[in-house]
Structure 1
Amino acid sequence: MNSNRHFYVDWLRVIAVFLLILYHTAIVFQPWGTMIGFITNEEKWTGLWLPMQMLNIWRIPLLFFVSGMGVCFSIQTKNWKEFITERTLRILLPFLFGYFVLVPFQSLIWLNIYKIPFVYLPNSGHLWFLGNLFVYVLLFSFPFIYLKNNFKSKLAITLKKILSNPISILLVMFCFVIEALIVKPFPFEMYATTLHGFVLGMLAFLFGFCFAYTGDNFFLMKWKWLTLFLAFGLYTSRILQNLNSAPNYLLAIESAFWIITILAFTNQYLNRSSNFLNYMNKAVYPIYMIHIIVLFAISKILLPLQMNVQLKFILLLLFTGFGSWLLYQFIIKRIKLIRPLFGLKQSSI
């Protein structure tokens, strides 16, 4: 197993959370935003959804892919008890805190804006991702530990042989397509608390672990321009044909191409450390957990103002990101008692 630090995985995690904030801010300006529990602006900006349609195909599977890679790197120095304990504190504890505290609080803001009587409704909200992730950890911890301890076993050698050559691109695509054909999600982009989100997330998580485990994925960089061309071609075809809901198998293929492409480009161009990355690598988890609360709070103040819708979107995006960072930097990061609730170690700053 390759023990070198893979900084591009950290960059992917940071970029994915930034894209998530962008995506959730965009929902505020869509006509259907209220239907999925978001506060929405009176004036809509439907054209903004054009680029979001591209992100929606791969952003969640990519997060699970990166999580699987992270688990592979984390497990190298731990036995199964240490691994389960660490993942419980890192994933389950923040999930439960979010389920019973953070998400009901953001619901309170939503209910207040729409003048609906408050009802305490614990739910996972946008933190459903953590619940799925913890289940995957429980399901696959022993196989992962076995692979870590038996790097020269037949299974490990077979995995390395398959995933260290271009056939793995077809394998990822094939599994994504089979899942789409069997589960038949509608829409494809509905990942939260669905069977589709669970199965596709599990596949991405497993592939992420296996790609990190084998380590020799440099062939991806050789094929990166082709996979980019194919991914963008499928996306462009959807837009030009005005396909609100393309066939699931095509969306699955496009998703796989985007993920492989992003892995290849970040591996080649972002596999390096920096002070910014070191800082953000710790900050993105708490920011991910609290950004909806900040988004809703800023929306309550900003949305009633009369201004250009594009300017309002930009301001909402900036204030949401900045506000989330402020809460992390000056409250979450500095209070030792609450740090574990946001996935941070209870250590000094």
Structure 2
Amino acid sequence: MSSERRYDIDWLRVIAIGLLLIYHIAIVFQPWAMFVGFIRSEEPLQGLWVPMTMLNVWRIPFLFYVSGMGVFFALRKRNWRELLLERGRRILLPLAFGFLAIAPLHFVIFQGFYNMPLSYYPHVGHLWFLGNIFAYVVLLSPVFFYLKNRQDGRFMQGVRLVLGHPLGLLLASLPFMIEVTVLKPQIFELYAETWHGFLIGMLAFFLGFLFVSAGKAFWQTVLTWRWLYIGFALVLYAIRFAVFDLKSPGYLMALESNCWIFGVFGFGHKYLNRPGALLRYLSQAAYPVYIIHMFVLYAGAMLILPLELPVMLKFIAIVAFTAAVCFALFEFVLRRVRFLRPLFGLKTNKRKARESGVFTTPDGIGE
């Protein structure tokens, strides 16, 4: 298997977490925020949702792709038992702790903001992603180890041949299009705790592993044809926006989603495949920030929304508050208090605690 480290994947998962924070904060300023359990601003910013609709069809599938890629790199150093033990420690422990102690916090803040009786309600919340990732690791590990040991077999040779063609890569969209045609989800972008989200995530997770296994064939194609994929995605988004009032048929949204993702991989490969101290720090921070960002976001909304400020300034202030507090908690608490480190997916040995991909976002957990 290739020993080349993909710094662009590390950068992309860090960027994906940043987009996740902004996306969740944008929900606060939508009229329907309370229907999905978010604190709601009395002054909406509905125009803010237009760019979010461009993002929401591919942001979660993209994270699953990156998560599958992370498992490929993990297999360079681990057998099946080591992989499951490592993923159990890095995923299930934070998931259990988050279920009991982290996810309930933002609902307590929600209750306080609306003067509701305070109650403790353990739940998975935004950490549903972790459970999906671990399930995929368990279900797909036999296939992954089979492919790992047959990199020069006929199947992988055929994969490389297909991925070497720009339209061949688009064939990856076909199972996604079949999935939405069969399941007919009412809302394509509703991934959390749905069979649609589980299956689309598993497809992306498997293909992420497969694409990286194919090596240069995949990377050269997305690099060469990145503008084609982005252009196609923009056309499909324009059709979704102008013709279907943002509710395109599921098969078109599945195709659009993958076009965005392939374009993003291409531009990432072009401009982001380089290491650095900032990347090492941000990669290590990404997983803990993902885990804690929701209750920090809610705290920021509770403090900032009542202020006499222009609504756009409130949005900017909540973004700044969430980023600053999340990184302050990571820097001064989570990475420094030894017993907390494993609860937030960090390695206990700081010298080995690089980004390690514990975040094939939010948790595919890379290498």
8 A contact 1:2–1:214 mirrored in 2:
no
8 A contact 2:68–2:205 mirrored in 1:
yes
User: How far off its partner does 1:55 sit?
Assistant: 0.4
SS across alignment from 1:152: coil
- Look up the equivalent residue of 1:136 and give its one-letter code: Y
Aligned to 1:176: 176
Aligned to 2:25: 25
TM-score, length of structure 1 as denominator length: 0.97
Cα 1:114/1:337, change in 2 over 3 Å: same
Q: Is 2:105 the partner of 1:105?
A: yes
User: How far off its partner does 1:91 sit?
Assistant: 1.1
- Look up the equivalent residue of 1:330 and give its one-letter code: F
SS across alignment from 1:77: coil
Q: How does 1:257-296 map to 2 (within 5 A)?
A: 257-296=259-298
Cα 1:338/1:222, change in 2 over 3 Å: same
8 A contact 2:151–2:213 mirrored in 1:
no
Structure 2 counterpart of 1:219, from 207, 218, 221: 221
Structure 2 counterpart of 1:298, from 297, 300, 323: 300
User: How far off its partner does 1:335 sit?
Assistant: 0.5
User: How far off its partner does 1:115 sit?
Assistant: 1.7
Q: Is 2:206 the partner of 1:206?
A: yes
Q: What CA distance in whole angstroms lies between the structure 2 residues aligned with 1:50 and 1:322?
A: 26
Q: What CA distance in whole angstroms lies between the structure 1 residues aligned with 2:319 and 2:59?
A: 18
Q: Which runs of 4+ in 1 moved over 6 A?
A: none
Structure 1 counterpart of 2:335, from 304, 310, 333: 333
Superposition CA RMSD, Å: 1.3
User: How far off its partner does 1:25 sit?
Assistant: 0.5
Q: What CA distance in whole angstroms lies between the structure 2 residues aligned with 1:82 and 1:314?
A: 43
User: How far off its partner does 1:242 sit?
Assistant: 5.9
8 A contact 1:163–1:210 mirrored in 2:
no
Aligned to 2:360: none
Q: What CA distance in whole angstroms lies between the structure 1 residues aligned with 2:246 and 2:214?
A: 38
Unmatched runs of 5 consecutive residues or more in structure 2: 352-367
- Look up the equivalent residue of 1:267 and give its one-letter code: H
Percent of residue pairs identical:
46
8 A contact 1:10–1:277 mirrored in 2:
yes
Aligned to 1:131: 131
TM-score, length of structure 2 as denominator length: 0.92
- Look up the equivalent residue of 2:293 and give its one-letter code: H
Aligned to 1:41: 41
Q: What CA distance in whole angstroms lies between the structure 1 residues aligned with 2:89 and 2:64?
A: 18
Cα 1:344/1:168, change in 2 over 3 Å: farther
Aligned to 1:189: 189
Q: What CA distance in whole angstroms lies between the structure 1 residues aligned with 2:152 and 2:56?
A: 38
Q: What CA distance in whole angstroms lies between the structure 1 residues aligned with 2:118 and 2:81?
A: 42
Q: What CA distance in whole angstroms lies between the structure 2 residues aligned with 1:129 and 1:266?
A: 23
8 A contact 1:287–1:325 mirrored in 2:
yes
User: How far off its partner does 1:170 sit?
Assistant: 2.3
User: How far off its partner does 1:224 sit?
Assistant: 1.1
Aligned to 1:346: 348
Q: What CA distance in whole angstroms lies between the structure 2 residues aligned with 1:123 and 1:169?
A: 38
Q: Deviations over 1:266-306 (max 9, x none)?
A: 01111111111111010000000001110011111111111
Aligned to 2:246: 244
Aligned to 1:120: 120
User: How far off its partner does 1:142 sit?
Assistant: 1.8
Residue-pair matches, total: 349
Q: Deviations over 1:74-108 (max 9, x none)?
A: 11111111111111111111111111110112211
SS across alignment from 2:185: coil
Cα 1:129/1:168, change in 2 over 3 Å: farther
Aligned to 2:145: 145
Q: Deviations over 1:198-242 (max 9, x none)?
A: 000000001100011111211221111111111011112222336
Unmatched runs of 5 consecutive residues or more in structure 1: none
